[in-house]
Amino acid sequence: MKYSICDFRFYLGGINPKSPQGVAAAFSKANKGALKLANTSLLFEFASNEIVNSLIHRRRRRQLFDNNAVADIFRDELSDALQQVDLGALIPPQTFDVDLQCDDNGPCDPTSPFRTYTGHCNNLRNPGWGKSLTTFNRLLPSVYDDGISKPRTIGVTGVGLPNPRVVSRVIHPDISNLHGRYTLMTMQFAQFLDHDLTMTPIHKGFHESIPDCRSCDSKRTVHPECNPFPIPSGDHYYPEINITSGERMCIPAMRSLPGQQKLGPREQVNQNTAFLDASQVYGENHCVLRDLKGQFGKMNATTHPVRGKELLPQSDKHPECKSPSGQCFIAANDKLTPAACLNSLWKAGTDIE
């Protein structure tokens, strides 16, 4: 309810999908299944926060600890313990089901020579491993300021963490080093593979709008999942202060959708399968593929007006499209623009049998 009220109140403040911020948000656009999963995850998150805060408040009143360091240790222990609570007997599993028309949850067929679109049953011993709409595994446990979901701002030494923009500027300096052997296509192929393996969706606003998180207080005034960070002083590209309003400027950021289906810390969801299975070509579920295929099972396409070659299908319903004709390429993944040529090549390859 908290999210719905906030979304409705600031619906008219959504940004233009064709703006740079709107196009960037399209690269992490959530599908219906991810949004349904996140709604349940947020309930678990709210419940976990209430349990932790209630127990800490009770212990403070009983004076079992009187400093924040001890409280933080207790908070972390509670967070770990909550993950071990099994709610299966209390909440039916079907409560968490996504769109059954799009998802695969049936028994595995060990005789099938084909992988499934969702990745379900690709591993017969562990059918859910690598499936679309499952949470990412972590190399290290999650760390949040409140033990559950609040973004981390303080390091292990007690000092504030560096500004993300500063980290980006130091690690990725804007230096042009032309390579004598590898072209840009090498990078694009790696990016193409990445788009097959991972897709971390972000929150949407009311009625599919894109919340405007540019304001430094947008977490309070626009959407609870906005997470902007201030532009550091001396930045070579972005001004620190808006010369018109005199207000501090921030770089917009929206948090990723949660996907955990249990109590405990927030975990992020992968909308793609974790397999190299061309999900950026075919889609990560049956519904995406259905929209990309024609009447006789062949992938939809448009024909080049001069050479007669098949290209990716086009649509006039692409909200981020800036083409004068109103027609833009579509594929299983909204990240096709940076590697449109590779998407076209793989699409053509799928029709060769």
Which residues are known to be catalytic?
195
Task: Tell me if 269 sits within 8 A of 275, measured CB to CB.
Answer: no
Phi, psi for 159 (deg, rounded to 5):
-95, 150
Runs of H (alpha helix) within the chain: 2-9, 20-26, 32-61, 68-82, 164-171, 184-197, 218-221, 279-282, 286-292, 340-350
Structure tokens at 351: 């029709």
CA distance 201 to 267: 12
Helix (H, G, I), strand (E, B) or coil at 251: strand
CA distance 23 to 274: 25
Helix (H, G, I), strand (E, B) or coil at 135: strand
Structure tokens at 298: 């062949």
CB atoms within 10 A of CB 84: 9
Tell me, what DSSP letter sits at residue 337? G
